[in-house]
Amino acid sequence: MTEVAPTTTKPTSRSAWFRGFSQEVLMPTAVLLGLVGIWEASVHIFEIPVYLLPAPSQIWVECSAMSNVILKHTLATLHTVLIGFFVSILISIPLAVVLTSSRGIATAIYPVLVITQAVPKVALAPLLVIILGANEIPRVVITFLVAFFPLVIASATGLMSVPHELIELGRSYRISLWQELIRIRLPYAVPMIFSGLKVAITLSVVGAVVGEFVNADKGLGFLIVSASAFFQVPVAFGALVILSLMGVVLFQIVVVIERIFFPWSAESAGNSFM
Amino acid sequence: MIRIANASKVFTARDGNSVHALSDIDLSIDENEFVSLVGPSGCGKSTLLRLVAGLMPSTSGSIDIDAVPVTEPRRDTAMVFQSPTLLPWASIEDNVLFPLKVMNVLDPTSRGRAHELLSLVGLAGFERKFPRELSGGMQQRAAICRALIHDPSIMLMDEPFGALDALTREEMSLELMRIWTDHPRTILFVTHSIPEAVLLSDRVVVMSPRPGRIADILDVSLPRPRTFAMEGDPAFQATAQKIRNLIFERHD
């Protein structure tokens, strides 16, 4: 046995750690702060009126003055985003299993799926409000409609990408189709499912805001519409910043869940970006 | 004992054309015999292996193991594939135990047996590692342990060393021979490598393509234990040359 297992080199020394820290944390933060600084400076130097482009400091001042209200809207949006996201998971993964189980079912369902994606969700939203009522349900449905498709496609691709030999291995031990799904195909699809989840969580935020634009009495989308109507441009900008942060944080939570519970997935080759 | 009688396999392509993958295969393999299937691509050697494995039915003819027709995969056979086909999310130990888990026969002694097998192939200490942390050769060793875990009497190996580099390949051949000598069982071994077939086998089945059929069956009369030093032996060279002639005369 002369072979040596390939080992992953980990930066152990202090300077290597600092290099990693500065590359992953310090540099991006510096770039971000620099851009905010340029924004702040440009607003003051070129005397841009506040209703066109408020300075970051103005956004901060006006938003912190009404932080309680903004928190309420943020939680409302987060609620819709998460419910829509979980509904997407609950529907997309079983749907992907069904789609990949037989060619006949796939050809029957696939056009319907594509149509749901072709329908402009913004145009559909007012109709959904009429059908489902002026409450959170149409917002969740729109969130789901925006988010679920990439998850179905990613999951189905993952389920289809299982090497034929691995399926044969299972069959050679006469495992049932259910065991094949649970023990081989679904675990094998996890890296692809997670790349679908990362797209879906980001799109969920988009979907929730679209829903709130059309019908809501709370939520950050509603806040942007109403603040703009009253020329409270700094508040609208603040809501926009919070929405972006929400998307980034939720995305990172998905990344962390993958790293903690499916480390082999996070390290698999096809998934090296992000 | 494996008995293949008049076995044929016809695949129907999607355009409706039929492909004769195997035609009139007659072959008997004795208990604890090491038989290699050698031939160019498309000669149906992998298909023949899958018929014996019970992974697909033959179109005509019969395949019996111990006088029982093969209709589905049997508990006393095990497959080893060209790629290690380890589950990337399971540790080496759990990969080796996979057959016992899915067959619902895991018991308290299983883990000990997995460790024994892993140390037999030089993987002691790698039980908790994951497949990606092992080299290709080590992964294939683990796959062989997995095939041995339920102590099958027949091992069906589909180019198991085909994806390895030349040096690892020779090392693995010697190792397989050692395992087979210590724990004899019937091995049906598909390979592209003529020296590998001659070195390992009691008999070499030379196949030719379109349709896949047996061109000839050669006895390898070299004494055991065998080593790569025997490649210079005139008997080794004569057998290897005979196989080469059988394969290439069809290609002219």
Is B200 in contact with B176 (CB distance < 8 Å)?
yes
Instruction: Count other Cβ atoms within 10 Å, centred on residue A201.
Output: 26
**Number of domains making up chain A:** 1
User: Whole-angstrom Cα distance, residue A124 to residue A117?
Assistant: 11
User: Whole-angstrom Cα distance, residue B112 to residue A240?
Assistant: 59
ipTM score of complex: 0.85
User: Whole-angstrom Cα distance, residue A79 to residue A74?
Assistant: 9
A167 lies within 8 A of chain B by CB: no
Is A177 in contact with A189 (CB distance < 8 Å)?
no
Rounded mean pLDDT of A166-186? 91
Mean pLDDT taken over chain A: 87
- Cβ–Cβ of A168/B55 closer than 8 Å? yes
Beta-strand runs (E) in B30-108: 34-38, 60-65, 68-69, 77-80
Which residues from B are below 8 Å from A175, CB to CB?
102
Q: Maximum distance among all alpha carbons in chain B?
A: 58
Q: Which residues contact A211 (CB under 8 A, 6 or more apart)?
A: A80, A125, A138, A139, A140, A141, A142, A143, A221
Which residues from B are below 8 Å from A163, CB to CB?
83, 85
Which residues from A are below 8 Å from B81, CB to CB?
165, 168-169
Tell me: pLDDT of A90 over 90: yes
Which residues from B are below 8 Å from A264, CB to CB?
88-89, 130, 132
**pLDDT value of position A12:** 61
- Cβ-Cβ contacts under 8 Å between A and B: the total is 69
Q: Which residues contact A192 (CB under 8 A, 6 or more apart)?
A: A154, A155, A157, A158, A161, A270
Closest partner CB to B55 (pick from A171, A179, A190): A171
Sign of the Cα pseudo-torsion (A102, A108, A111, A114, in order): negative
User: Is A48 a domain residue?
Assistant: no
User: Whole-angstrom Cα distance, residue B27 to residue B32?
Assistant: 15
What tens-digit pLDDT sequence spans chain B (252 residues)?
Answer: 888 888 888 888 878 788 888 888 888 999 899 999 998 888 888 899 999 999 998 888 888 888 888 888 988 899 999 889 999 899 999 999 999 988 888 888 888 888 888 888 888 889 889 998 898 888 988 998 999 898 899 999 999 888 888 888 888 888 889 889 888 999 999 998 998 999 899 999 999 888 888 888 988 888 888 888 888 888 888 889 999 988 887 444
Question: Which of A2, A3, A188 to probe the B interface (max B CBs under 10 A)?
Answer: A3
User: Is A111 a domain residue?
Assistant: yes
Separation in Å, CA of B248 to nearest CA in chain A: 29
User: Is A28 a domain residue?
Assistant: no
Tell me: pLDDT of A193 over 90: yes
Which residues from A are below 8 Å from B89, CB to CB?
187, 190, 262, 264-265
Q: For A203-253, how does the pLDDT look when each residue is reduced to its tens digit (9 = 90+)?
A: 999 999 998 988 878 899 999 999 888 888 899 999 999 999 999 999 999
User: Whole-angstrom Cα distance, residue A273 to residue A206?
Assistant: 22
**pLDDT value of position A268:** 63
Q: Which of residues 168-227 of A touch B (CB under 8 A)?
A: 168-175, 179, 183-184, 187-188, 190
* Chain B CA closest to residue A185: B87
**pLDDT value of position B252:** 44
Q: Note down the domain range covering A166.
A: 66-271
User: Is A209 a domain residue?
Assistant: yes
Helix A103-118 × helix A67-101 angle, to 10°: 150
Q: What is the CA radius of gyration of chain A?
A: 23
Instruction: Count other Cβ atoms within 10 Å, centred on residue A43.
Output: 19
Distances (CA, A) of B211 to A8, B42, B51, B220: 48, 9, 16, 26
Kindly indicate the confidence band of residue A2, based on its pLDDT and cuts at 50, 70 and 90.
very low
Buried/exposed code over A63-94 (b: 16+ C-beta within 10 A; e: otherwise):
beebeeebeebbebbbbbbbbbbebbbeebbe
User: Is A252 a domain residue?
Assistant: yes
Bridge partners (DSSP) listed for residue B4: B27, B63
Q: For A15-65, how does the pLDDT look when each residue is reduced to its tens digit (9 = 90+)?
A: 777 787 777 788 888 998 999 999 999 999 998 888 888 889 989 988 888
User: Is A59 a domain residue?
Assistant: no
CATH number of domain containing A94? 1.10.3720.10
Per-residue tokens: A114? 């594509």
User: Whole-angstrom Cα distance, residue B20 to residue B208?
Assistant: 12
Which residues from A are below 8 Å from B130, CB to CB?
264
**pLDDT value of position A33:** 92
User: Whole-angstrom Cα distance, residue B176 to residue B94?
Assistant: 22
Tell me: pLDDT of A1 over 50: no
**pLDDT value of position B120:** 83
Rounded mean pLDDT of A172-180? 90
**pLDDT value of position B186:** 93
User: Is A158 a domain residue?
Assistant: yes
Kindly indicate the confidence band of residue A10, based on its pLDDT and cuts at 50, 70 and 90.
low
Tell me: pLDDT of A123 over 90: no
Tell me: pLDDT of A130 over 90: no
- State CA B250 to chain mean position distance: 25
Q: Please enumerate residues of B whose Cβ is less than 8 A from a Cβ of A.
A: 50, 53-55, 72-73, 77-79, 81-83, 85, 87-89, 98-99, 101-103, 122, 126, 129-130, 132-135, 137-138, 168
Which residues from B are below 8 Å from A174, CB to CB?
72-73, 103
Per-residue tokens: A25? 């944390």
* Chain A CA closest to residue B152: A173
- Cβ–Cβ of A5/B138 closer than 8 Å? yes
User: Strand B2-12 and strand B60-65: pairing?
Assistant: antiparallel
Structural domains in chain B, CATH included, are 2-76+152-249 (3.40.50.300), 86-151 (no CATH)
pTM: 0.80
Which residues from A are below 8 Å from B79, CB to CB?
168-169, 172
Separation in Å, CA of B1 to nearest CA in chain A: 19
